Amino acid sequence: MKILALHRRRFSVNLASRMRKRVFYTLAILFFAQIIFAAEEKRIVKIEIIGNERVDKGVILNAIKTKENDPYDPNKLREDLKNIYRTGFFSDVQIDVKDVEEGKIVTFVVIERPIIKAIHIYGNKKVRTDEIKERLKIKSMTVLNTERLKESVDEIKKLYASKGYYATKVEPQIVYEETYDVTVNLKIEEAGKSYVRKIEFLGNRSYSSGELKKYMKTKEKGIFSWFTGSGILDEDTLEEDRRNIEAFYMDRGHVTVKTSPPEIKLSDDGKTIEIRMNIDEGPIYRLGKIEFVGDLIAPVEETRKMLSLKPGEVFRSSLLHKDVLKLTDIYQDRGYAFCDITPITTINEEEKTVDVLFEIKKNEEVYFNRINIIGNVKTRDKVIRRELKFAEGDRFSASRISESKKKLRNTTYFKEVDMKIQKTEKPDRVNVDVIVEERPTGTLSIGVGYSTAERFILSGSVSQDNLFGTGRKLYLDASIGSVSTDFRLSALDPYFLDYKLSTGISLSNYRRIMDTYNYRITGGGLSIGRPVTDYVTFGTRYRYERNDVYNVEETASKYIKEQKGKRTVSGLAFSLSRNTVDDVLNPTQGDFGDISLENAGGILGGNVYFLKATAYYGRYIKAPFWDSTFMVKGTLGSIWPYGGKKLPVYEKFFVGGIGSVRGFRYGEAGPRDEEGEVIGGKKEVIFNAEWIFPIFKPAGLKGVVFFDCGHAFDETKGFFKDYRFGTGFGVRWLSPLGPIRLELGFNLSPRKGEKRSVFDFMIGTFY
């Protein structure tokens, strides 16, 4: 192989140029050598490696396919050459082939890349060095890879761009040391912030630019950019925006829409960015025929009626996706866990229609084999298993898995809940891994708050939602304010003796200071609940209380003076409640309601006789924008005394405050006596409407805008008049101490002695 030796001597001037040319000529010579020596089949008797000092010989041998005693194959050597380069450890690789009597000796001559001794970053003031180093693709004491160095430069630019410094420049410098090591210097020339000032679309005839911008995460800089972060350009996000706009068009019948890569123009001073995107909308296509082939489990017409897609309507890609999921759920609920639903679309250019063919393979019917509980450290297995809607041996059902996840989330014991289906050796059996991540369920809190009604409030609580991992709940709450004090101890067992029967016990001591009198309620209660269906529960509750109206002032009205004294309430209530809310701590959809009837006195004893009926119903509705939610709720209540007994003032309905009509103090949206003291009403009607939107998702921080109306009254005709109205806004935080509400309400028609605004806060459930 004298030709190879001559080749090496002729090209030794420039390392980079020599490397490229040697590779070319080496490959060419190997190709011709294959032709010349095709008739002369010789074997490789020895493989040698020359030039490696730091890189172990085994690394090179593992990279090549040629082995000793293999037939000599120039094509195979050519692939070996590429494979050695791909390791990234070498700047030059040559092959020397020598003929000997026994065959051929192949020598790989390598030149190692230098080791990075150190990496220095200069010029960065607006971004921390540690943050830049996290983005680097190169590391100290590793082999220098120029491609990785280029990637590191790009990553630094992306990091700066994500913070608004789009015009930042990064200059890499490689300094060679005498020891053949290198130092890499990354010189950063920081620019001022660049903001997106203009987003322009060309070719959009059917939809305005403003409509299209709603589907982009990239936004133009506005007056609230300091808060929203709008105006910052991230090219990865911009590419996602382009795909979102295409999806927007395709979901409105423009199935052949095309959007060009966005054009980005940076102003000369580097402060302004303009983005332009060309759109070829194409015509609107309608849905043609819907056909099915494969394993149908229902007649064609019946299956077609299940779909959201309807022939003749504008073709919508989102409905096609929805129908695939719907069919998948139907088949999986019949036990076909691994069914394949494949939609095939055919475009008819002449008629401007899209035909859809669903290919259905139901595959084998599947049953649950084993249920594995994973991740629970504190919570007992049985506490998790009793919430599952399926058991080992049951036929597979996707909806039951979904319902089980929902029930586990609503226990509030877990931060995350996931279920993974695992195939087994038997094709008709699957295992289910129920994977949970527990959340802290015990809290100890002490706080100081303020509200317009209470002024300063000192509160504290000790609670455990999952006592000893059994699912039992224990609460001790206390609050001391300027007008009220409240002490409560309660315990709940959701599965008494492992039956579907919840039992609870509570003790309380409540005192409130009114304008002309005080009252105290001391007592407790027992409750039992039994689920009727998955979402409906029947409950009964008994309460026994000793109540006292005292410190009645001389200026109090005759009605209040008649209330003075101690009374005993012994009451039994029956209720029927419903709850389909998807997540009790972070609700986005579902409804909740309750209707109850309570009787006090009579055969139950005590000296307070009344019949009380209350009902409420609410619904969460997922909004189509901003990942927000609407909530509407209505409440009705009425109480009737009997047996010639007078109705105690504290059993009436007091409307006003954070739990009813916001913008009013406690009881203000209801009757008063001649002295102006709120005395509650025998009836109440309340309507609430809210828009709940995210402020900072990672922290569970949300904002709310609300509108309330309602009042308390005595006569039935009050149902149709004298409504009070309040509106306002607030913040809700799913804090480590539990849900916290801070709300400022405005009285839309304040009367004499009423405040125009009321600030309230609450720690507890949101509905």
**Top-confidence residue, 619 or 237:** 619
Give residue 80's Cα distance to chain centre.
48
Structure tokens at 743: 């709300």
Average pLDDT over residues 679-687: 95
116-189 against 442-531+618-639+647-763: fold identical: no
Lowest mean pLDDT: which of 49-63, 585-599, 708-722? 49-63
Chain mean pLDDT for the chain: 86
| CATH fourth-level superfamily of 195-280 | membrane protein fhac (3.10.20.310)
Angle (CA) 366-369-370 rounded to 5° is 145
User: What is the C-alpha to C-alpha distance for residues 590 and 579, in angstroms, rounded to an integer?
Assistant: 7
User: What is the C-alpha to C-alpha distance for residues 547 and 566, in angstroms, rounded to an integer?
Assistant: 6
Give residue 59's Cα distance to chain centre.
45
| CATH fourth-level superfamily of 2-112 | membrane protein fhac (3.10.20.310)
Annotation: CATH topology of 116-189:
Ubiquitin-like (UB roll) (3.10.20)
Of 327, 321, 427, the C-alpha closest to 369 is 427
3-state secondary structure of 614: strand
Q: Does the pLDDT value for residue 177 go beyond 90?
A: no
The CATH code for residues 367-438 is 3.10.20.310
Where does the pLDDT of residue 463 fall: very low under 50, low under 70, confident under 90, or very high at 90 and above? confident
Annotation: CATH topology of 286-361:
Ubiquitin-like (UB roll) (3.10.20)
The CATH code for residues 442-531+618-639+647-763 is 2.40.160.50
pLDDT at 36: 46
3-state secondary structure of 373: strand
Order of all β-strands in the sheet with 103-112: 44-50, 103-112, 90-100
Where does the pLDDT of residue 9 fall: very low under 50, low under 70, confident under 90, or very high at 90 and above? very low
Where does the pLDDT of residue 446 fall: very low under 50, low under 70, confident under 90, or very high at 90 and above? low
Of 748, 766, 747, 616, the C-alpha closest to 685 is 616
What is each CA distance from 676 to 515, 550, 671, 673, 758, in whole angstroms?
Answer: 9, 18, 9, 5, 19
Average pLDDT over residues 53-61: 84
**In b/e form, how buried is each residue of 502-530, taking b as 16+ CB within 10 angstroms?**
bbbebebebbbebebbbbbbebbbebebe
| Every domain of the chain and the residues it spans | 2-112, 116-189, 195-280, 286-361, 367-438, 442-531+618-639+647-763
Lowest mean pLDDT: which of 68-77, 253-262, 477-486? 477-486
